[in-house]
Structure 1
């Protein structure tokens, strides 16, 4: 029924016939790829049902068309991008089952794109679709006032349908809910404020977390997500506009979802739709560009008046505070976010040139240098081997990296900080220590295993203030290990080496997604004399991780220093 329209929307975006931002292009490409994926069945029945319910029973409660004609009481007709979202959420099923693929969604939209009413209409459609399961839907805002906008919209439409008497509507200081027995099932929709301390006994099949940027803690979101464990076809939807706090749950969720679209994180059950303006390589946005306005706003020319948003952009030029609000509300850009230093696509382009396996690398005549980042043994820890290999006349730098994490904390950290630990474990690039902290023995055993495979490890660098026990264990295992304090002028050498090799297409990291994840979280500050100092994009107290990159830098530094010593010794002995 709507399949042709949705398919044309996705194709027009991917083929650049329709203006859309980078992340929407990625979402559409993901959809087109998934239609061919043998892991999934694609069925349109449920999606068409929900779209039909919305368009036949829901009407606008206020507003005007661009020509000024009133919308109140007019049918709520979904735009193509909204149908695209519904088709994704409800169309894909695990092969040969009635289990839906997507269990969670992140919808990121600027203001005035009809977000609140769309999510309210979707709630109503989902409630009717899953009525035979005793549909229970919670619409949760950081404050009750936010969720009440959706609740009041549904309530208004029940009045317009003449169905209010057939539902039990509670709308008082104690409760805001709509419930009803439909004969072949039941529905229950409730508006809540995000108060995790009062919501431990909730039970629902659909949770909608509205205005995520205002959530103060991950628990406000996770307690609703936990309430859905009794259902197979559950769905948790986070929907929001950008904020200005880069340490917030919402910003971390945004970065995580961008990594899903970038394919540095694999999350098959997570649907992502991010509408925002495109940023250049320096993180800048041409905010007076009509094209960027359209990229950020799917409802550009529908509920977003082009002349109004251009007028706001021109005013923002002369008003720094207004500019900040314009970026967040109209372009969906986090204004206080620290920008990552590297372009991950450059790393991928270099990595894709090579295809050596671990077994093949172990047999090559490469001198390997190790690095270990042991700074947080209760958190992510990393080890790496760094070497170079002459290939087709070029020196190719190769890094083999591995992560470690205590299993006791893994579930909590994976949930709160959006680190795909279990995916990395499945990929074989992460070891989970069966201890409260990362076990030194696991790290030592990794180096020993690599040595047994045939890797010729000359020496290993680490910061001794974080692991005397590690030092002794490595010495007992026959490794040459050296102290490597984390001085920025030392690490700068390894950083620059990796940077140059990546740009020259001479860097290989075996497609390790954990390494890519860490690369994307590196923020760097240029110092004098071409030195560089780097850190996590969200600072010491943040939730991002760079440990595998750090360990690789340690290995690069050891290689460079050893090469320098060899060159110096050669000169002393009369060499070139």
Structure 2
């Protein structure tokens, strides 16, 4: 029988290096151990009884495939680790009207689960669907939720029925589960609590009116649009402790909802984004790992040797090495590697480890360059200060603006970040649906007052009037078109400064998030150009930084020779 301590020991062994794991799995385990110790400081608690209750439920959940069919599932330690995270961590339930803690009949604070969204990415044949079917049954009939609605969703009804059918077969093969649940072709139900578990297809138009307690999205990588995920997320508002669980292997589509959620997962795990409601674990190879070295395979296959056979992996690897056509399938499905995906350009551990900048009165003595990226009028605008020290090191400060009316059009998890950053003063909201250039101009002038300003660089695209307005205030404005010529050396210089620990910044969380969004396109001549990690990602801050750095490199504003034509300089 699995115990909470099995999951805790798994985390400890992963962090200690006793279990081979990729960096994302290690970070997930370290996050768990840190939260066990430090979570109460921010209102996050671990309830061992709740965690064990979920594990105990699996004593009555049988295998439905293979030679162990009918026997109770013996949870693997990595399964246990996921379950105790999802069901063990709790927070105090807050009344949204009063802002006060909700109390039970005894006057004690009501505790609810911490995690509302979970992402589990692992290679095929590691029993992730089996684990998820058990989660679905638990939340249907053992979670003390009246009228629970649980759904398994996928791109097709047949795909959605994989998790559902496994759950139904579990009931058929378990005497206890038969007493808890009834079922028919497309429905599992518990009459006592009026709860149900059903499969859903990806036709989002038919998903309205749901009141979801748990949504399980199978093979998230296959979803071409975000419709299903968004509908499920928005249908949990009436529940006090809902869960949306995405399970998947790697895929190809970097523009889809899966890679977007994966990208967000890596930011949460690496500490770029703080989100106590989001659980993530990713089992894959590390960058630079040899995919043909079988000692690396357990990183993507935590069930290798238990529910997945070594000889089958070796057979598939041999085929993939010999047949190019089979290689992509092996890499994505069995090593959980996103093919044709680009990794984050910045070493975020080094970026986040940078020291904070000096007080304003000390910075005013240093030459300053400012980079502006207005993007477009309905998106984030950024202004980045770059001061240069006498030894060539730099200090960086950031400001960001966003039209308040655009928050609701952003994906839910990004909209929540915007609100959080705005409340904390890191993101300034302008009225309406369109960015207020006049407000930015006035605040920018005030922001650089008293500084040793050399130049304000900007991309001329959609910003000509803004630049002319700054010129009218006597500011030294220069056009810096977003071309390889202008940004490549600036990116390389920034990269070198970070690696050499010769950059300090203000640790604005908006900038940290955007920096982690940057991927690097390299051309045949070795030139760099910044691109977004996903279509929903923003990189306005880093682009503003590169704009300022491009002018710093050539000594713009100091009378030094410049690589720019005279026609580039507006004043």
Question: Fold match, TM over 0.5?
Answer: yes
Deviations 1:394-416 (A, max 9, x none): 33211212222222222332427
Name the residue aligned to 2:565. Answer: none
Q: Does 1:250 align with 2:250?
A: no
C-alpha change, 1:481 and 1:199, in structure 2 (3 Å) is same
SS in 2 for 1:438: coil
Would you say the 8 A contact 2:365–2:451 is kept in 1?
no
Q: Does 1:467 align with 2:463?
A: yes
SS in 2 for 1:398: strand
Q: Distance in 2 between matches of 1:204 and 1:531?
A: 49
Match of 1:207 among 215, 218, 228: 215
Would you say the 8 A contact 2:163–2:218 is kept in 1?
no
SS in 2 for 1:94: strand
C-alpha change, 1:42 and 1:461, in structure 2 (3 Å) is same
C-alpha change, 1:165 and 1:510, in structure 2 (3 Å) is closer
1:559 Cα shift?
2.1
Match of 1:548 among 541, 544, 548: 541
Name the residue aligned to 2:123. Answer: 110
Would you say the 8 A contact 1:407–1:433 is kept in 2?
yes
Q: Distance in 1 between matches of 2:441 and 2:362?
A: 20
Name the residue aligned to 1:270. Answer: 278
Deviations 1:41-100 (A, max 9, x none): 210222211211122x2111111xxxxxx2111111211111111111111122554122
Within-5 A mapping of 1:52-91: 52-55=56-59, 57-63=60-66, 70-91=67-88
1:300 Cα shift?
1.4
1:511 Cα shift?
2.1
Name the residue aligned to 2:378. Answer: 378
1:568 Cα shift?
5.6
Q: Distance in 1 between matches of 2:263 and 2:278?
A: 14
1:520 Cα shift?
2.8
Moved more, 483-492 or 201-210: 483-492
C-alpha change, 1:319 and 1:358, in structure 2 (3 Å) is farther
Q: 5+ residue gaps in structure 1?
A: 64-69, 570-576
Match of 1:170 among 184, 189, 199: 184
Would you say the 8 A contact 2:371–2:457 is kept in 1?
yes
Match of 1:498 among 489, 494, 501: 494
Deviations 1:477-516 (A, max 9, x none): 4422222222321222322321221222101122233223
Moved more, 12-21 or 409-418: 409-418
C-alpha change, 1:413 and 1:361, in structure 2 (3 Å) is farther
C-alpha change, 1:337 and 1:71, in structure 2 (3 Å) is same
Deviations 1:292-345 (A, max 9, x none): 210111111111112221232232122222110011101111112133333222
Name the residue aligned to 1:331. Answer: 335
C-alpha change, 1:99 and 1:486, in structure 2 (3 Å) is same
Q: Distance in 1 between matches of 2:403 and 2:486?
A: 30
Q: Does 1:432 align with 2:429?
A: yes
C-alpha change, 1:489 and 1:415, in structure 2 (3 Å) is same
Moved more, 293-302 or 40-49: 40-49
SS in 1 for 2:251: coil
Q: Distance in 2 between matches of 1:33 and 1:244?
A: 33
C-alpha change, 1:45 and 1:560, in structure 2 (3 Å) is same
1:29 Cα shift?
0.2
Would you say the 8 A contact 2:357–2:395 is kept in 1?
no
1:169 Cα shift?
2.5
Q: Does 1:119 align with 2:112?
A: no
Q: Distance in 2 between matches of 1:532 and 1:85?
A: 39
Q: Distance in 2 between matches of 1:82 and 1:319?
A: 34
Q: How many residues align?
A: 541
Match of 1:179 among 189, 198, 206: 189
1:252 Cα shift?
1.5
Q: Distance in 1 between matches of 2:475 and 2:512?
A: 28
Q: Distance in 1 between matches of 2:120 and 2:160?
A: 16
Would you say the 8 A contact 2:454–2:556 is kept in 1?
no
Q: Distance in 2 between matches of 1:139 and 1:531?
A: 46
Name the residue aligned to 2:19. Answer: 18
Would you say the 8 A contact 1:131–1:187 is kept in 2?
no
Q: Distance in 1 between matches of 2:416 and 2:546?
A: 21
Would you say the 8 A contact 2:454–2:557 is kept in 1?
no
1:521 Cα shift?
3.0
Deviations 1:210-269 (A, max 9, x none): 111111211211101111100111111111111111111111111111111111112111
C-alpha change, 1:466 and 1:480, in structure 2 (3 Å) is same
SS in 2 for 1:123: helix
Q: Distance in 2 between matches of 1:531 and 1:423?
A: 36
Q: Distance in 2 between matches of 1:204 and 1:525?
A: 41
Q: 5+ residue gaps in structure 2?
A: 93-108, 563-571
Would you say the 8 A contact 2:285–2:335 is kept in 1?
yes
* Superposed CA RMSD: 2.4
C-alpha change, 1:137 and 1:483, in structure 2 (3 Å) is same
SS in 2 for 1:549: helix
Would you say the 8 A contact 1:405–1:430 is kept in 2?
yes
Q: Distance in 2 between matches of 1:219 and 1:398?
A: 42
Q: Distance in 2 between matches of 1:487 and 1:289?
A: 40
SS in 2 for 1:562: coil
Q: Distance in 2 between matches of 1:528 and 1:248?
A: 28
Name the residue aligned to 2:326. Answer: 322
SS in 1 for 2:239: coil
Name the residue aligned to 1:421. Answer: 418
Name the residue aligned to 1:407. Answer: 404
Q: Distance in 2 between matches of 1:158 and 1:484?
A: 65
Name the residue aligned to 1:159. Answer: 172
Q: Distance in 2 between matches of 1:220 and 1:565?
A: 55
Provide TM-score, normalisation by structure 2: 0.89
Within-5 A mapping of 1:1-12: 2-12=3-13
Name the residue aligned to 1:290. Answer: 294
C-alpha change, 1:42 and 1:231, in structure 2 (3 Å) is same
1:35 Cα shift?
0.6
Q: Distance in 1 between matches of 2:561 and 2:57?
A: 77
Q: Distance in 2 between matches of 1:420 and 1:503?
A: 28
